Structure 1
Amino acid sequence: MFLNPIHHITIDALDPYKMAEFWAEVTGYAIHPDDVEGDEEILLEPGQPGVPGMLFIRVPDAKSVKNRVHLDIQPPVGTRDETVERLTGLGARLVDDRRREDGSGWVVLADPEGNELCIERSAAERAAA
């Protein structure tokens, strides 16, 4: 029997609601209906059993060094490049472009508070390669 012991992925944030709004756009998760702007903790719910939620907790200090853990995002629809464009339009910042001429590779972005995430090719792009 498969058990997923991870309940939440917790991210420290200066502005938990703003971060949850950004990551809701990245993941398609929904902000918990009881959570509102100004709360100390904001939960994103995946809407699927067994999938960890994302919990944003207010902290007083800004991110100052490279993440020890980051999320790799594989777009469920569209392409890697469309996703990079969409997320930078939402406030993400380009950190490193690891795309290769053959279409492989990934893009490292930082969310609005500087946490790194990688955007990989979609499953459709991988299948077409």
Structure 2
Amino acid sequence: MTIQIRHLTFDSAEPRRLAEFWSAVTGWHLFYDEDPEVIVARSFPSKELMFLFVPVPEAKTAKNRVHIDIKPEDTTRDELVERALSLGATVFGDHRKEDGSGFVALRDPEGNEFCIERGEHEMAPSGPMTIGLTI
């Protein structure tokens, strides 16, 4: 059996506003019509993962049980963190280390947690990994 994960759905007090935040963070496009739901995706329709924002009357009240980890492809982790902060995100855990590794845990404008990691291009190339086994 195979499946396709179509959407990652965000319950939201203001779907359009939250979708605009995520569109700006990801560089993906907004797709909407008169329906209150909003999609953020690279393209639409798409077989890739899309973010779906749906209106709900209640506010977020507890820690997310699932969160998104994102990493930049054409900028740095630190630049993407600064961009997210300028768009309304807040930091709740800065786990960057002196050697450049680590990540930053943030909340979007409605309190949903997400982490920004280093992009592949920021990591030093490493040689082949060897594992020693004792029999």
Give 1:59's aligned amino acid. Answer: V
- SS for the counterpart of 2:80 is helix
Instruction: Say which of 50, 54, 73 aligns to 2:70.
Output: 73
Larger Rg: 2
1:1-129 to structure 2, matched below 5 A, reads 5-32=4-31, 34-35=32-33, 39-47=35-43, 49-127=46-124
Q: Please, what TM-score do these two structures have when normalized by structure 1?
A: 0.88
Rounded Cα–Cα distance in structure 2 between residues aligned with 1:30 and 1:102? 34
CA contact (8 A) 1:35 1:43 kept: no
Gaps of 5+ in 1: none
Equivalent AA in structure 2 for residue 124 of structure 1: H
Instruction: Say if 2:25 and 2:83, in contact at 8 Å, map to a contact too.
Output: no
Q: Which TM-score applies when normalising by structure 2?
A: 0.84
- RMSD, aligned CA: 1.8
How many residues are treated as equivalent by the alignment?
124
Q: Which runs of 4+ in 1 moved over 4 A?
A: none
- CA distance in 2 between counterparts of 1:60 and 1:117 reads 22
Q: Which amino acid aligns with 2:42?
A: P
- Aligned-pair identity (%): 48
Task: String of CA shifts for 1:89-115, please: whole Å, max 9, x gaps.
Answer: 000001100111111100001000000
